[in-house]
């Protein structure tokens, strides 16, 4: 479990984070070269950054079109009760359904939006119907927006263009 004890995000630590964010499979030797450190020092810093909770997961983007049948969609949720207790109950329910890959709370008329991936539209509808039928979640409305084409893939946050916290 990460210690979450903050460490200084100096220029080298920032470069390590920016690099591993976009290249999670980079070897320590190549990362050390990229940030101008010895492999031992680079490994020590990378481990410290992970232990402090500055990054917590590494994964590979797979080409779903080449490996499986699927449908992606954005699902919008509007709750009838937007109080803290209702929001927490809704968030807990969505958390355990793997097809809802993320869930963002929004301002405006839609309370949440989730990016989903299912085997097909019928399965997507079934999952949404199941969530909607749970009266304890206070869902007023669900809007399913199937993705017709993915013209740009998520390639990571634009860390180099964001303002770092001191």
Residue 51 and residue 20 share a domain = yes
What is the number of domains present in the chain? 2
Residue 113 confidence (pLDDT) above 50: yes
Query: Which pLDDT belongs to residue 69?
Result: 94
- Highest mean pLDDT: which of 2-16, 101-115, 141-155? 101-115
- Residue 82 is classified by DSSP as -
pTM of this prediction? 0.81
Same domain, 77 and 134: yes
For residue 79, list its beta bridge partners.
139
The verdict on 91 and 121 lying in the same domain is yes
Q: Do residue 41 and residue 69 come from a single domain? A: no
53 shares a domain with 26? yes
If you average pLDDT over residues 90-118, what whole number do you get? 97
The verdict on 15 and 68 lying in the same domain is no
- 77-86 burial, b at 16+ Cβ within 10 Å, e below that, comes to bbbeeeeeeb
Q: What is the pLDDT of residues 3-56, one digit of tens each?
A: 577 888 899 999 999 899 888 899 999 999 999 999 999 999 999 999 999 988
If asked whether residues 54 and 68 sit together in one domain, one would say no
Q: What pLDDT, in 10s, does the model give residues 59-73? A: 778 888 889 999 999
Q: What is the pLDDT of residue 66?
A: 87
114 plus 87 within the same structural domain: yes
Structure tokens at 18: 């920016």
Instruction: State the pLDDT at residue 3.
Output: 55
**How far apart, in whole angstroms, are the C-alpha atoms of residue 141 and residue 135?**
12
Judged on CB neighbours under 10 Å (0-12, 13-18, 19+), 90 is buried
Closest Cα partner for 94 from 75, 110, 107?
Answer: 75
Q: CATH no. for residue 140? A: 3.30.70.920
The verdict on 40 and 95 lying in the same domain is no
In CATH, what number is assigned to the domain containing residue 16? 1.10.10.10
> Does residue 96 share a domain with residue 128?
yes
Owning domain of residue 37: 11-60
From first CA to last CA, the distance across the chain in angstroms is: 24
pLDDT of residue 151: 87
Nearest to 47 by CA among 23, 16, 22, 25: 16
Residue 84 included in any domain: yes
Q: What are phi and psi of 146, to 5 degrees?
A: -60, 140
């Amino acid at each position: 479990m990460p210690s979450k004890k903050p460490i200084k995000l100096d220029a080298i630590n920032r470069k390590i984070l920016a690099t591993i964010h976009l290249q999670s499979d980079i070897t320590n030797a190549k990362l050390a070269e990229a940030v101008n450190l010895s492999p031992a020092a680079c490994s020590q810093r990378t481990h410290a950054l992970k232990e402090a909770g500055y990054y917590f997961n590494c994964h590979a983007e797979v080409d779903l079109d080449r490996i499986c049948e699927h449908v992606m969609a954005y699902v919008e949720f509007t709750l009838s009760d937007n109080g803290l207790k209702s929001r927490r109950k809704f968030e807990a329910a969505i958390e355990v359904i793997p097809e809802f890959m993320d869930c963002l709370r929004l301002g405006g008329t839609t309370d949440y939006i989730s990016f989903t991936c299912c085997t097909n539209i019928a399965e997507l509808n079934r999952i949404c119907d199941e969530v909607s039928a749970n009266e304890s979640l206070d869902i007023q409305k669900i809007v399913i927006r199937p993705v017709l084409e993915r013209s740009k893939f998520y390639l990571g946050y634009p860390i180099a263009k964001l303002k770092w916290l001191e």
